[in-house]
Amino acid sequence: MAPSRTKPLTPTFALRAPTAAPVQVLISSLNLHPRVESVGLDRSGAMAVPRNYFDVGWYNGGPVPGDPGDAVIDGHAGYPDQPLVFAKLVKFRPGDKIVVVLADGSRRDFMVDSVRSWPARAHPTGLFDPYGPARLSLITCTGQFNDKRNTYADRLVVEAHFLGIEGEALTS
């Protein structure tokens, strides 16, 4: 019997044509406009964090914001007495707008749907999904700070749906 020539299934995100990477996030309601670093996975297999504490990190193993699937961007909340770039995410409200600027100059608009806390080891449904409608998830630390581990007990996840590309007809 000849070996099978069937191709293995390939994740949807691996089939996409390359697009420009995100370079900046604009959040006017919180007066934030951090630069974006491209990040992968750390040694433990979790999403890496940005090297610069004042930048945010886009998970480059997933979709570009505005492409199908859940584009994920994380940022440091800081320490209890030393807030950093995403410390204000808890102030987001449904309906707030987020703009992601790509390296090609295009702007991808999103609207916040929810702001929720999850235990740090939880895996919320849909987070990091490489398929489905275009979404954006912003992640930072929140909850009780553990001095011994130097981390927070929970993660704040802001979920937003894609409105469209500025200058084009909105698709919401």
- Per-domain residue ranges of the chain: 19-165
Of the options 2.40.260.10, 2.40.420.20, 3.30.1540.20, 3.30.420.40, the CATH number for the domain spanning 19-165: 2.40.260.10
pTM for this structure?
Answer: 0.84
Which pairing describes strands 97-102 and 107-119: parallel, antiparallel, or unpaired?
antiparallel
- Examine the pLDDT at 9 and tell me if it is beyond 80: no
Closest by alpha carbon to 17, among 67, 71, 73?
Answer: 67
Question: Mean pLDDT over residues 21-39, rounded?
Answer: 96
Rounded to an integer, what distance in angstroms lies between the CA atom of residue 138 and that of residue 5? 41
Q: How many other C-beta atoms lie within 10 A of the C-beta of residue 103? A: 13
Q: What is the pLDDT of residues 115-168, one digit of tens each?
A: 999 998 888 889 999 999 999 999 998 988 888 887 888 999 999 999 999 876
Rounded to an integer, what distance in angstroms lies between the CA atom of residue 172 and that of residue 169? 9
18-22, 99-103, 114-118, range with the lowest pLDDT: 18-22
Q: Which long-range contacts (CB under 8 A, 24 or more apart) does 4-8 make?
A: none
Q: What is the pLDDT of residues 58-85, one digit of tens each?
A: 999 999 999 999 999 999 998 888 999 9
